[in-house]
Amino acid sequence: MILKVYKTLIIFVLPISVIAQVIKFNNEAEIYFSKAIEKFEESNYDSSLIIFESLINLPVNHRSTASWIMLSKNYQKLGKYKESIEIAKEFLNKFPQSSYIDDTYFTLGYSQYKDGDYINSFYSLLNLMMITNDKKLYRNAITLLKIISSEKLSDDVLKNIAHKNENKEIYDLIIALYSKKLYDSGNVKASRDFLRRVIERPTSNKFRDFVSEIWKIIQNKFQLEVGVLVPLMSNYSDSPFSEVGNDILAGIKMSVEEFNSNQISDYEIVLDIRDTERMPSKAANEFKNLIEQNDKILCVIGPVFSNEAFLCAELAQKNKIIMITPTATANGIASIGNFIFQANPDYKNRGLALARIAVKYLKLINLAVIAPDEQSSRSVVENFIKEATELGANIVSTQYYEKNAQDLSEQFLNLRKIGANLEPIISFSNKINTLSKIKIIRAGVDAKFLDSLIESGSSIGVNRLFGKRGRTIADSLGIVYSYQNYYTDSSDFEVNSIHGILFPISSPEDISIIVPQLSYYNIKTVILGTSEWYDENELKKNRNYLDNIVFISEFYINEGDERNKNFIENYKIKYKNLPTKHSYYGYDIMNLIITLIKQGSINSELLRKSLLEVRDFNTIHSKITFSDERVNTQFNILKFSNGKIQKVGDIK
């Protein structure tokens, strides 16, 4: 049974008519055919074409069929695929009993493939598979069938071809190709389910070996390739960045090994690790090599530093490769494109989060900023000011100091001057009547808070009580207030009218510079800090000066968490060492990817869509929530109290 190919995609039996012809030896044809073959083998296809075209017009002779098929191949070599297809079809009609039929079907199928007619190419190759005994043609046809079924035909078309076909051998072959296509896309269970129907029943011997070969392949765990770009510093072993890269990689490997050890899983993760050597140009080159050498990358973890990440993000977006940087904090990396994700919050979100904590969580109104004069701090400050102002706060002062400065007396003296007449005070030492109380509550003051002020006879600033327009509201309510007479040059008098000060320090060492001076200048306020304040040793050294500090961090370890205990124990067994902060970063970002894989994100597009929907994903060191800009916006809110850092909430 031979499958004839028509545009209607109907498979039917080709009637074979025996054409009685007397085949004669033709010396002229022999000479010209030899000459044409010589030109063809020299790749002089224009010359060979002329000769083959003349040969097919001679009376039928011993070189006629070979000339027809060679003419079709000649057109193919010249890229004239439509002409090649036409000649091959004419040959099949003229010489249905030729020994070149199988070769002609391959030539026809290949030209149809190159011409973009993938369905008819598929049929032509199936015709070849039914009749050929030529092992080389069989292998070539199988190779092309795999490509067409995998890359050019949809699942529905393949299934439709299989189910319309009545030949069981061809049906088995197509189902094997379809199952391999499913497996190659990562759909392992479905691929096995389809082919099991074939493998578990008696089948013909014609394609049994091929079916068995595919069955054997799809029994293996499907490999998911994950690229890793970290600064291993293999050529600079004494570099401090070596520890960063190796610790992140150690965490990633631990997570992968835990996943791969699951015998039930249909998948295993394979890491393709590249050393960026902490150089942006090297990182970009390694990223480029990675995606050129591996066309099945699910995603890339890294790079870990912002300047490297910027360059690699351009390449990732251009090539539609998911890139997740676990630690880069600069603004704008993820905004390069919708394939880029930042698992560590950027400077913009740090400023926004601190503003919301100050105004919405702590109810602070008069805010100041003292920050080192560097780009990262300025970004935090700018976004803090913008958000806090929009939320109703009053930014009373923004001051910068030179990085690594030891003396901030100028900044603190300025704050004392600003605070001296900043906010008048309302005293509740005398009882107030019910009507006044009702007016104050109607102005937005919490009733319970007001009762506590009255009961204790406390004093409070008008802004703390009513908000940014405190004086105006107090005047409208007829409430009496007064100014404290500060002596700004004397630190004996406490300044408490500045409710909170943002200190986005450069490093934990700055704590011992700022905190004692803040105390010396007797400014009572809430310290608002970035993640650089997360250093328990530095905080403990200055605990006598710290009575009101709140800071954010993308990193916090709950020592009582069972997951953390297990991680530390397994890490010590594997690496003979305790995990570092960067070990957690590597382990947790890999666990996020693995969780999404378990949920079905087994290809790049599915994974990208799943990453876009990540909300409140709970890792050991933090939570991850990707914003519409694909940047993690979630922080731990921390306080230093009783000599310990404590988590008091989350914010995103």
pLDDT above 70 covers what percent of the chain? Answer: 95
Tokens read off for 23: 């085949």
Residue 506 has pLDDT above 60, yes or no: yes
Q: Check pLDDT > 60 for residue 18.
A: no
406: left (phi over 0), alpha (psi -120 to 50) or beta: alpha
Q: Give every CB contact of residue 406 below 8 A, 6+ residues apart in sequence.
A: 513
- End-to-end, the C-alpha distance of the chain in Å comes to 67
Vertex 239: Cα angle to 235 and 242 (nearest 5): 80
Q: Quote the CA–CA distance of 309 and 229 in Å, as a whole number.
A: 10
Order of strands across the sheet that contains 366-372: 394-401, 366-372, 500-503, 526-529, 549-553, 635-641, 644-651
- Evaluated on CA atoms 421, 427, 432, 434, the torsion sign reads positive
Does residue 333 or residue 496 have the better pLDDT?
Answer: 333
Q: What angle do CA 444, 368, 357 make, to 5 degrees?
A: 55
Q: How far apart are CA 465 and CA 287, in angstroms?
A: 56
Q: Which two tokens stand for residue 309?
A: 């990440």
**Using one digit for the tens of pLDDT, what is the confidence trace for 108-119?**
999 999 999 999
Choose among 262, 283, 259: nearest CA to 271.
259
Q: How much is the average pLDDT of 629-639? A: 96
Kindly give, in sequence order, each residue whose CB lies less than 8 Å from that of residue 37, ignoring residues fewer than 6 positions away. 48, 70
- pLDDT band of residue 166 (cuts 50, 70, 90) is confident
- Containing 71, the helix (H) or strand (E) segment is helix 64-77
Tell me the mean pLDDT in the region 609-625.
Answer: 96
Q: For the segment 279-328, what is each residue's pLDDT rounded down to a tens digit?
A: 999 999 999 999 999 888 999 999 999 999 999 999 999 999 999 999 99
In the predicted structure, residue 11 carries a pLDDT above the cut 60: no
Decide if pLDDT at 125 tops 90: yes
How would you label 300-319 residue by residue, b for 16+ Cβ within 10 Å and e otherwise? bbbbbbbebbbbbbbbbeee
DSSP 505-536: -SSGGGHHHHHHHHHHTTB--EEEE-GGG--H
Mean pLDDT of the chain: 90
Average pLDDT over residues 533-546: 93
Q: What is the pLDDT of residue 142?
A: 95
d(CA 356, CA 334): 23
Q: Within a 13 Å sphere around the CA of 313, how many CA atoms are in the beta-carbon half? A: 24
User: Please, are residues 287 and 339 in contact by the beta-carbon 8 Å criterion?
Assistant: no
Residue linked to tokens 């703390």 = 464
Per-residue pLDDT of 563-578, as tens digits, reads 999 999 999 999 999 9
Q: Is 259 left (phi over 0), alpha (psi -120 to 50) or beta?
A: alpha
C-alpha to C-alpha distance for 317 and 570, rounded to whole angstroms: 36
- Is residue 178 exposed (0-12), middle (13-18) or buried (19+ Cβ within 10 Å)? buried
| pLDDT average, residue stretch 196-224 | 88
466-482 pLDDT, tens per residue? 877 877 887 788 787 77
> Both tokens of residue 489?
């040059």
At 490 the pLDDT is 59
Residue 20's pLDDT is 42
Give pLDDT, residue 87. Answer: 97
Note the pLDDT of residue 332.
Answer: 96
Residue with tokens 């601190």: 354
Tens of pLDDT, residue by residue over 21-54, are 557 888 988 999 999 999 999 999 999 999 999 9
Q: 523: closest CA among 485, 488, 482, 551?
A: 488
pLDDT over 90, % of the chain: 73
Q: How far is the C-alpha of 278 from the C-alpha of 242, rounded, in Å?
A: 9
Cα angle for residues 427, 430, 436 (degrees, 5° grid): 80
Q: Is the pLDDT of residue 170 over 80?
A: yes
Q: Quote the pLDDT of residue 436.
A: 77
Average pLDDT (500-523) is 95
> How confident is the model over 390-399, as pLDDT tens digits?
999 999 999 9
Task: Please tell me the predicted confidence (pLDDT) of residue 4.
Answer: 43
- At which residue do the structure tokens 């666990």 appear? 591
- 434 or 196, which is more confident? 196
Give the residue among 206, 143, 197 at the shortest CA–CA distance from 173: 206
* pLDDT tens readout for residues 417-440: 898 878 877 778 777 787 878 878
Q: What's the pLDDT score for residue 84?
A: 97
pLDDT bin (cut points 50, 70, 90) of residue 487 is: low
Domains located in the chain, CATH noted: 27-218 (1.25.40.10), 222-345+563-624 (3.40.50.2300), 349-424+483-553 (3.40.50.2300)
